[in-house]
Amino acid sequence: MFRRAILGLMVAIVGATGASAVLAKAGPLPSDVQAVRGAVARYHSYAQAVRDGYSVVGEPCVASPAGTMGFHAPNAALMADDAIDALRPEILLYVSRAGGRLELVGVEYWKADADGSLATADDRPSLFGAPFDGPMPGHNPAMPVHYDRHVWLWETNPNGLFAPFNPAISC
SS (H, E, C) 16-81: HHCCHHHHCCCCCCCHHHHHHHHHHHHHHCHHHHHHCCECCCCCCEEEECCEEEEEEEEEHHHHHC
Residue 111 lies in a domain: yes
The verdict on residue 117 lying in a domain is: yes
Q: Region 121-146: what's the mean pLDDT? A: 94
Q: Residue 25's pLDDT is what? A: 41
Among 95, 147, 154, 97, smallest CA distance to 117 is for 147
- Looking at the domain assignment, is residue 138 inside a domain? yes
Q: In this predicted model, what pLDDT tens digit does every residue of 82-127 receive, in sequence order? A: 999 999 999 999 999 999 999 999 999 999 999 999 999 999 999 9
The answer to whether position 158 is within a domain reads no
Tell me the residue range of the domain where 54 lies: 2-152
Query: What domain count does the chain have?
Result: 1
- Residue 55: pLDDT above 50? yes
Is residue 157 in a domain?
no
Whether the full predicted model's pTM is greater than 0.85, yes or no, is no
Q: Is 104 domain-assigned?
A: yes
